[in-house]
């Protein structure tokens, strides 16, 4: 089998479709390199002294794990000096991170969830990194937080890495979704799945069911119908999976279909869900749509939402199109 590396894929994509400018290609390669470094740290586990809590709290009010902090630092350091970025933003930083003046600045802005699935770090379950790329407003070398507040439809690239039994990188630049597997011996990303497509129909769903008592009626109705099985209104049996790492749940859905939900609920009526719009929901929505699926907040397309703040939260329904349309429809009734 002829092996296509990430670099070769990006160069050829540029040649064929003119869709990946050199600066964007460099950016993606640097992010991929940072993910390789994170993967290496993750795989060391206790031997690398990377497990456990860092003893600090992030802006989300979450206790930071050592790997949350380390992954954030790896991504910042890798991306600062390349000249392709104007600024960065992260789940683990209260405000944006401008590119230091000692380095040249570029036209892109990078957002990331450095380590997704923090609760799974210490128990050796798949975790990952999620990223999203936006363009800085024309000619803007020193973007402000305000400049980041663009709807997901403006993303020029998005992707995630999963640090699991294999380390994979799943990427879109708006021309389909491709998956690369890390060849650890060679240290290179090898194209292993072209043009991933989410099956339209599914029999699998993912939701944290421990919150069932707090769900609003449309979600309760939808899940009740799935759980009623082949004698219920859906006429078939559904299976459930919940990994508690969005990257791993989304990766399963990109491979074999399914629907992933993190709804808003009645616990905190003012909080529109748990997941973050800018660096979790938007990049995943971009990937899922590019693979033929759908992503909404129950009311509208996620990528149409105009963000009002960097760490904005959002309800998420994503995956197989028919299921996302159904549960979104229940919200309208």
User: How many angstroms separate the CA atoms of 112 and 91, rounded?
Assistant: 7
Decide if 126 contacts 120 (C-beta within 8 A): yes
Stretch near ligand AHG under the rule CB under 6 A, chosen from 72-80, 193-201, 218-226, 239-247: 239-247
Window 84 to 143, contacts with Mn ion (CB under 5 A): 91, 113, 115-116, 118
Q: Does 113 bind ligand AHG (CB under 6 A)?
A: yes
Dihedral, CA of residue 189, residue 191, residue 195 and residue 196, to nearest 10: -70
Of the candidates 278, 280, 289, the one whose C-alpha atom is nearest the C-alpha of residue 262 is 280
Q: Shortest Cβ distance from residue 45 to ligand AHG (Å)?
A: 17
Shortest approach of Mn ion to residue 72 CB, angstroms? 9
Q: Does 312 interact with Mn ion (rule: CB under 5 A)?
A: no
Give 24 or 281: the residue with its C-beta nearer to ligand AHG. 281
Residue 282 binds ligand AHG, judged by CB under 6 A? no
Q: Which is nearer to Mn ion, 157 or 316 (CB)?
A: 316
Smallest gap, in angstroms, from Cβ of residue 274 to ligand AHG? 6
The residue whose two tokens read 């999620």 is: 130
Position 246 contacts ligand AHG (CB under 6 A): yes
Residue 208 contact, options ligand AHG, Mn ion, none, Cβ 5-8 Å cut-off depending on partner type: ligand AHG
Interaction of residue 118 with ligand AHG, rule CB under 6 A: yes
Q: How far is the CB of 62 from Mn ion (least distance, A)?
A: 4
Q: How far is Cα 269 from Cα 333, in angstroms, rounded to an integer? A: 20
Taking each helix axis from N to C end, the angle separating 282-290 and 246-256, rounded to the nearest 10 degrees, works out to: 10
Query: Where are the extended beta strands (E) located within the chain?
Result: 53-57, 63-65, 85-90, 97-98, 108-116, 127-135, 157-163, 167-172, 177-183, 188-193, 204-206, 239-240, 259-262, 275-276, 294-296, 313-314, 316-319
**Residue for token pair 């456990």:** 52
When the beta carbons of 311 and 331 are compared against Mn ion, the nearer one is 311
Place of tokens 């299976």: 239
Residue 56: name its binding partner from Mn ion, ligand AHG, none (Cβ under 5 to 8 Å by kind). Answer: none
Binding stretches for ligand AHG (CB under 6 A): 62, 91, 113, 116-119, 208, 244-246, 274
């Amino acid at each position: 089998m002829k092996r296509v590396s990430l670099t070769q894929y990006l160069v050829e994509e540029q040649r064929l479709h003119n869709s990946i400018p050199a600066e964007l290609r460099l950016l993606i390669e640097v992010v991929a390199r940072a993910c390789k470094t994170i993967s290496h740290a993750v795989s060391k586990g206790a031997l690398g002294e990377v497990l456990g809590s860092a003893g600090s709290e992030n802006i989300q009010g979450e206790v930071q794990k050592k790997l949350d902090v380390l992954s954030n630092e790896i991504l910042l350091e890798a991306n600062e000096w390349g000249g392709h970025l104007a600024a960065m933003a992260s789940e683990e930083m209260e405000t944006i991170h401008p590119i230091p003046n000692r380095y040249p600045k570029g036209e892109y802005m990078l957002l990331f969830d450095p380590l997704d699935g923090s609760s799974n770090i210490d128990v050796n379950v798949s975790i990952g990194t999620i990223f999203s790329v936006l363009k800085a407003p024309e000619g803007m070398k020193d973007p402000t937080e305000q400049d980041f507040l663009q709807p997901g439809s403006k993303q020029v690239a998005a992707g995630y890495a999963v640090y699991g039994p294999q380390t994979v990188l799943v990427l879109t630049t708006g021309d389909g979704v491709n998956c690369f597997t890390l060849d650890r011996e060679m240290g290179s990303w090898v194209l292993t799945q072209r043009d991933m497509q989410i099956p339209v129909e599914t029999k699998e769903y993912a939701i944290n069911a421990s919150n069932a008592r707090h769900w609003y009626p449309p979600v309760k109705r939808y899940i009740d119908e799935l759980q009623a099985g082949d004698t219920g209104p859906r006429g078939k049996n559904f299976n459930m999976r919940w990994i508690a790492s969005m990257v791993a749940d989304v990766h399963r859905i990109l491979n074999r279909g399914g629907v992933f939900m993190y709804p808003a609920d009645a616990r905190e009526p003012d909080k529109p869900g748990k997941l973050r719009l800018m660096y979790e929901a938007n990049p995943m929505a971009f990937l899922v749509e590019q693979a033929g699926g759908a992503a909404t907040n129950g009311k509208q397309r996620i990528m149409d939402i105009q963000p009002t703040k960097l760490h904005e939260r959002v309800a998420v329904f994503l995956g197989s199109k028919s299921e996302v349309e159904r549960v979104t429809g229940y919200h309208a009734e």
